[in-house]
Amino acid sequence: MNEDDIILKEYKAAFRKYSRDGILDLDDLLKYKFKFQIHRLENVISELEGVVPPSRLSQYYITLIKKGSGQKSIGHFNFTIGNNTLLCIPKRVMHSSQYWSLRCSGYVLSFDIDFFTQKAFPRQLIIRKKIFKSSIKPYMVLSVPQRQKLEPIFEFILKEYKEGFNTKNELIAVKILELMIQCDRFYDELQSKGHQVVFHEALEKLNELLEKNFTEQRSVQFYADELHIHPNHLNYLLKKHTGQSAKETINQHILTEAKYLLSLSSLNIKEIAGKLGFENPEYFNVFFRRALKITPTQYKNSLV
């Protein structure tokens, strides 16, 4: 069995075994550790039977959907998958997919930061790229000419990955960097036309802090202190860049996690409340009902 098959089998086994337990942390569940992988989208979707349950992994993803249809969630973004869709998913961001047909084509590429640092690439070359900023929209629909600029890069990486040369990883790293630069240019084009929100470093850090602390820390003061800014300034930044207050942003993060757990796990309401850091299930009920005007149970039942 080659490395591609091993990786896909690992994903499939983890998804089948744990998909009803809530959001999967693949860093803990995958036995086979890898720093880089690339697959044809059609092979991945066929192996996973069109369904990728909610999961996180300490890897960056770039997926180009040349042909396909379905529903995708990345963080709090929910959108329809269509032809010529580019997905750029930051590390540790929750995502899931439901493909409406196995007849699709494209590429799925993922890597961790160590794949580059081992090749003497400066860390900042990777982490400063716009495409992996969690505060901006993680997808865009490409024009045909834009898609055609990316296809040869993916094909080159696929070919190099399978050739087995001793220096293949160095060349793959160079081509991934080229891919990221080209994707960043597409985002720049969107931004210049006023279609893309400009990211802010403090908001990027806030997203990381929320990911680590949302089950225990829910006060605006805590996150402002961690960012070394005044709560009023944090509110100002969020209102300017997202239209939400700091408290609304914190609550939205909790709500997104709650909706994932309610829709895609076998956990009961008490267990979900516990996972989200609510000491009493009734507190969770009040929080959820205040946000969506229905109870967690009603929300879960509406999905059946």
* Homologous superfamily, domain 3-192: Regulatory protein AraC (2.60.120.280)
Report d(CA 272, CA 233) in Å as an integer.
33
Report d(CA 284, CA 270) in Å as an integer.
9
Q: Provide the 3-class DSSP secondary structure of residue 204.
A: helix
pTM over 0.85: no
- Directed axis angle between helix 201-213 and helix 220-227, to 10°? 130
Cα radius of gyration rounded to whole Å, the chain: 20
Q: What is the pLDDT along the chain (304 residues), one digit of tens a residue?
A: 567 777 888 888 888 877 776 778 888 888 777 888 999 999 999 999 998 888 888 899 999 999 999 999 888 788 999 999 999 998 888 898 999 999 999 999 999 888 876 555 666 666 667 777 776 788 899 999 999 999 999 999 999 988 877 778 888 988 998 999 999 899 888 877 765 555 667 877 888 888 889 889 999 999 999 999 999 999 998 888 777 899 998 998 898 888 878 876 678 899 889 989 998 999 999 999 998 899 988 888 876 5
pLDDT of residue 25: 81
Who's near 265: CB < 8 A, 6+ residues apart?
20, 21, 22, 23, 272
> Of the candidates 261, 291, 263, which has an alpha carbon nearest to the alpha carbon of residue 274?
261
* Homologous superfamily, domain 201-302: Homeodomain-like (1.10.10.60)
- Tens of pLDDT, residue by residue over 215-230, are 899 999 999 999 999 9
Instruction: Give the residue extent of every domain in the chain.
Output: 3-192, 201-302
How many CA within 13 A on the CB side of residue 98?
7
Query: Pairing state of beta strands 70-74 and 95-99?
Result: antiparallel
